Amino acid sequence: MHLVTKQMLVATAAERYREAHQRRGEWLPTHDGSAPQAIYERLKALPAAAGAAEIAAITGDDRWTENICDECGEDCEAVVLVAIEIHHPTDMTALCTACLQQAIELAGG
């Protein structure tokens, strides 16, 4: 299990953006014609106290900081990743604290 918070997503947005838009040191073309290297540099320059709104303003996309619970569909401050498949690391389920509590109650605890 792993905890993922909004704060973690904000703090890692620049690096995750680079990983998504660069291959072998080369910036990939974007579908909308934006300059991914410039966007990455702006993300890297954000202060540590920056929030999700600043990242969305730079990228034009709020998905970089969305923290969606797979059960209720809400964008949450924190989710716990469960059922992580070792051989398929993207195959997992994210649950917010409210849904985790419901699961505990359902299990009789």
- Tens digit of pLDDT for each residue in 40-79? 999 999 999 999 999 999 999 999 999 999 999 999 999 9
Which value, to the nearest 10 degrees, does the dihedral of the CA atoms of residues 86, 75, 12, 91 take? 10
pTM of the model: 0.86
The answer to whether position 4 is within a domain reads no
CA gap 98, 11 in Å, rounded: 24
Residues 34, 45 within the same domain = yes
Structural domain including 76 reads: 67-109
pLDDT for 12 beyond 90: yes
> Hey, is 73 helix, strand or coil?
coil
Residues 59, 82 within the same domain = no
> Hey, is 97 helix, strand or coil?
helix
Distances from the Cα of 36 to the Cα of 16, 26, 30, 39, 71, angstroms: 12, 10, 7, 5, 33
pLDDT 10s digits, 80-101:
999 888 787 678 999 999 999 9
The answer to whether position 93 is within a domain reads yes
DSSP class of 51: -
Give how many domains the chain has, as a whole number: 2
